[in-house]
Amino acid sequence: MGTDPFQLFDEWFAEACESEPNDPNAMALATADRGGQPHVRMVLLKAHGPDGFVFYTNEDSAKGAQLRENPRAALLFHWKSLRRQVRIEGSVEPVADAEADAYFATRSRDSQLGAWASDQSRPLESRAHFEARYEEVKRRFEAEAVPRPDYWGGFRLLPVIFEFWQDRPHRLHERRIFVAQNDGSWDEGLLYP
């Protein structure tokens, strides 16, 4: 039986959590809009397993709109301390409301309030304007728990390709690729550096 790419990711991720000084769960998220224009930004992995890789955002943000228009994406983890990276490609689906609610409840209160105050990805006239909106939201929810906004949720990337890249001397890197098969198995191979 071949290697399970989810298990291999778990092993590498555990090592990254031990060695990376900041945000081992940081990943580049690449999307493309309806016209095919690529976009990339850093987001944080919040859950992962055989059911996919989960991150959260304002669904009305640029990335949210791009994922609705073209529900395919790519992720890239780069762990410089380990001289490793993992690239993952697949389709994307929204997480269930209950899952988004549960995660939102774990965020700091300030982050919860920020989700209400921000029109993520839209033009902002000044930092002072945003800070005033934040203070307004803070007063609004002063005596109650902060609920998850309807426009804030999560996405799950369902992998169809994994590539595990390991640095080697003289740029003779090791690249292992896993491609999902229709029967649920993974075809494993190597790529030239």
- Fold held by 5-102+152-191: Pnp Oxidase; Chain A (2.30.110)
* Contact of 88 with 186, CB cutoff 8 Å: no
Percent of the chain past pLDDT 70, that is, above it, reads: 99
pLDDT grade, residue 42 (50/70/90)? very high
The vertex-139 CA angle with 135 and 145, nearest 5°, equals 115
Q: pTM of this prediction?
A: 0.94
Return the structure tokens found at 35.
């016209």
Supply the residues annotated as catalytic.
Answer: 171
| 60 residue type, one letter | D
The answer, yes or no, to whether residue 2 has pLDDT greater than 70, is no
Return the HEC string of 40-68: EEEEECCEEECCEEEEEEECCCHHHHHHH
Question: What's the whole-number mean pLDDT along residues 40-64?
Answer: 97
Average pLDDT over residues 164-180: 96
pLDDT at 1: 47
* DSSP code of residue 81: G
Mean pLDDT of 106-131: 95
**pLDDT tens-place string over residues 56-97:** 999 999 999 999 999 999 999 999 999 999 999 999 999 999
pLDDT of 139 > 80? The answer is yes
Return all residues near 121 (Cβ < 8 A) that are at least 6 apart.
Answer: 58, 60, 61, 62, 63
